[in-house]
Structure 1
């Protein structure tokens, strides 16, 4: 076999191996394993700062909602606080703390400051978001740790608060 023929055979085999690997169907067991590896390593995918938006907090409505100077209304993702009239809506988690204490805590963390927020969803013409102070303190988690609000499990399962599992254990214990 000449060198040219040998090179052609090697190239053909390499192309066949590449095509087989590239087009091979992903096994269901493997597709379930990949997320588990990340969980075992406790990898928390954080959004790049470019996907966040800045909010110059103009007003704190209550313990889980604020308004930015540009008019954007932000609802803290996966955080439940009492309504201003001290009630809890049916089907919503109901923290023991008062609405006034939650509002005071959110004002302490965010009022008259510029915070960065990562949008998660929309709710009643509000952006639901996870927000951070300029010192990168996660406001949603800080509100829960303060005891003035509760984690709303239904939404926390969609996009978890408090970064890592260790922070969650501390926050929710």
Structure 2
């Protein structure tokens, strides 16, 4: 029997792979098979009850539209958990941690296997709002391509 130790919060600046297995809403968390729960960096999406958290930017897109858009970007839905998460089948993401994102979540910039920046795509599609406080100097570019 192999014992796997799951990483809870990746240190800021650390790169890691995340194979999505569950998605909660449009900015995460994304549950990774490798352990972390990723909160996408630099963006805000509506909560699943349709509200926007106090002090967060509030996009026009509904929570369901944002969640389903993120699911499509990372892979494809294959079911639902008892808690309401969308269970996904997906290829690994390449992520870079921005550190803790409250609780046992890792804030991160993540890129699909085709190089799409998830945070940038969510904003471009109108499914999430750019959160300038956490966006910093990030630039939207395709990862791994010249």
Tell me whether the two structures share a fold, i.e. TM-score over 0.5.
Answer: yes
Q: Computing the radius of gyration over CA atoms, which structure comes out larger, 1 or 2?
A: 1
Give the deviation of 1:161 after TM superposition.
4.1
* Correspondence for 2:74: 110
Decide whether the 8 Å contact of 2:18 with 2:93 is kept in 1.
yes
Tell me the equivalent position of 1:63.
Answer: 26
TM-score normalised over the length of structure 2: 0.73
RMSD: 1.8
Structure 1 stretches of at least 4 aligned residues deviating more than 6 Å after TM superposition: none
Say whether the 8 Å CA contact 1:95–1:150 is kept in structure 2: yes
Structure 1 pair 161/129, CA: closer, same or farther in 2 (3 Å)? Answer: farther
SS at match of 2:19: strand
Tell me, yes or no, if the aligned pair for 2:112 and 2:118 is still in contact at 8 Å. Answer: yes
Residue 103 and residue 161 in structure 1: after superposition, are their counterparts in 2 closer, same or farther (change >3 A)? farther
Contact (CA 8 Å) 2:110, 2:119: kept in 1 or not?
yes
Question: What CA distance in whole angstroms lies between the structure 2 residues aligned with 1:161 and 1:63?
Answer: 20
**Equivalent residue pairs, number:** 114
- Any gaps of 5 or more consecutive residues in structure 1? 1-50, 165-173
2:42 equivalent in structure 1: 78
What pairs up with 1:1-173 in 2 under 5 angstroms?
Answer: 51-65=14-28, 66-111=30-75, 112-124=90-102, 125-157=104-136, 159-163=137-141
Structure with the bigger percentage of strand: 2
